[in-house]
Amino acid sequence: MTMMLFRRAQDTDLSAIHHLAEQSGIGITTLPKDLELLRKRLDWSASSFNKAINYPENEYYLFVLENCADGKVVGTSAIEAATGHDSPFYSYKILKHTRICHSLDVRIDYEVLNLVNDNQSRSEICTLFLDPAHRHNSNGLLLSSARFLFMANQPARFSPIIIAEIRGICDEQGQSPFWDAVGSHFFNMSFAQADQLTLATNKQFISDLMPRNPVYIKLLPPAAQEAIGKPHHSAIPALNILLREGYRYNNYIDIFDAGPTLEAPRDQIRTIAASQVMTVKNIIDEVSSKNYILANTKLDFRATVSQAVFNEHQHSCILSKETAHLLKVKRGDNLRIAMAFG
């Protein structure tokens, strides 16, 4: 099996990330198709990695997945350290209400959408996209879950709660039933235009134009109601990975496409909680064992799926030369192992 390398993104990855963005369709807000916006994201990421951090602020960490057989970048994912640092981070919260008329013996249960900033300043995993030709083996799992090993290595850089906004329902033409029923009436633009403006501006237009009054779900068209809290079909594999990690839907949705927001306490995320730090005791030609997600503990973060033999009592492990070279570790270095992998 070809080895895959998960690593921090570099300036030289710009063209490859842009190619991935062009394949991603509409709705992945943090993966713009604009080359200059992507360049700014790469610069933002580079400065974030180079900062000394005591607590999360306005940082963004961008990663890529590289096919080691040909050096091709086939996926990307990221972490935003504190959402809404420069502008409000909006969500719709689903609230349930009940009205009872005893004289008529009538009870009415209904739900409303309230515009809130409840997820402000939480860390968010984002920007996940994997080339469709590489959606096999453990590539999607590595691209998603390796980020948690970086968090485990660098907890001061992230908030105690980690959220994920899952891409909501829209078609290939960029038509979103929820946007058509709600947002389009207030923004006077298409879903694709609003999605692009979210990344290209400071989001002030949302604050200026978004209605503050609750939205009564029963008054929306059936297609819009059905879209609330539902993932885009292409996001279902990523959603399932997060559910296995311990994420749960928290009754918040995206204000544009109504995709679900998931959350989990950082230290209870399965990959983080089950990971262990081992010392590299020896490096040999080949290792025969189970596969794990293995990562170095450096800011120049690198992770892969490979085999390792370890001694839990001594907190030590043995790697193959190929794996050690890929992760840039040597004897005596630390290695973080996702023990719950698979």
- Name the residues annotated as catalytic: 232
CA-CA distance, 232 to 167, in Å (whole number)?
A: 6
Pick the closest to residue 94 from 122, 109, 115, 121 (CA basis).
115
| Contact present, 68 and 5 (Cβ < 8 Å) | yes
Distances (CA, A) of 306 to 46, 128, 212, 245, 309: 27, 22, 50, 20, 10
Residue 116 φ/ψ region, left for φ over 0, alpha for ψ in the -120 to 50 degree band, beta for the rest: beta
Gyration radius of the chain over CA positions: 22
Task: Give the position of tokens 């990975």.
Answer: 241
CA-CA distance, 261 to 90, in Å (whole number)?
A: 11
The length of the chain in residues reads 342
Pick the closest to residue 94 from 74, 75, 110 (CA basis).
110
Tokens representing 306 are 């490979």
* Measured CA angle at 213 (ends 212, 218), to 5 deg: 135
275-284 and 316-320 beta bridge pairing: parallel
Strand (E) or helix (H) holding 106: strand 106-116
Tokens representing 200 are 């290209």
